[in-house]
Chains A and B, each alone.
Chain A
Amino acid sequence: EPEVTQTPSHQVTQMGQEVILRCVPISNHLYFYWYRQILGQKVEFLVSFYNNEISEKSEIFDDQFSVERPDGSNFTLKIRSTKLEDSAMYFCASKIDRGPSYEQYFGPGTRLTVT
């Protein structure tokens, strides 16, 4: 069964460094998302991406964050200058089409630890 994959599974970085989290969504999906979960808190929406552009972003998704789909396969989340509070599990998700009956398929997450 097709699945969403994410790399790396765990990333440790120092405050102020740039990180790129990578995702390979399911191949025929059209909608892409990043979510994150800070330990002990709810999974929260960061950004949605469709037709090669951001369709919606949350207040968390400030100028330090960017997303890209560079080659029609990968979907990346970049954090330019990481802060301690960026430490979280980051999930990528994809959805085949618009409409309420379609599921969002999630990857296993990347645990980002900022020291």
Chain B
Amino acid sequence: ILNVEQSPQSLHVQEGDSTNFTCSFPSSNFYALHWYRWETAKSPEALFVMTLNGDEKKKGRISATLNTKEGYSYLYIKGSQPEDSATYLCAFESGGSNYKLTFGKGTLLTVNP
């Protein structure tokens, strides 16, 4: 059974703070690591798909890094804004799995104005 863990479970920050959270995943049979941003009543929105060890990806104020050898990824948000408030999900895609995703439980971020 694949185990994907995210920490922390929830996070409250002030507007302007920078923050980061962690996703850990199995280091064997790695295919890709996905990050999603999910607001209630909306579709989970794909942020990044990361495939190579050492990958760093950036979208605006959000960036992510990947370490496949030790099995972790970090998501960073610089200068958090209230509109960044959402649940951030990571999902592990293993090789030969028909591309199914195994999700962590998510990190609920609340940014206070």
| A interface residues (Cβ-Cβ under 8 A, vs B) | 3-4, 31, 33, 35, 41-45, 48, 50, 55-56, 91, 95, 98, 100-109
Contact = CB atoms under 8 A, between A and B. Distances in A.
A55 B98 contact: yes
Interface residues of B, number: 25
Most-contacted residue by chain A among B4, B46, B97, B98 (CB, 10 A)? B98
A108 B42 contact: yes
Given A31-B98, A101-B51, 11 more contacts: A35-B103, A42-B4, A44-B103, A45-B100, A45-B102, A100-B49, A100-B51, A104-B34, A105-B46, A106-B44, A108-B43
A107 B43 contact: yes
B31 interface: yes
Interface of B: 4, 31-32, 34, 36, 41-44, 46, 49, 51, 89, 91, 93, 97-106
Nearest to B103: A43
Given A104-B34, A104-B46, A107-B43, A42 B104 contact: yes
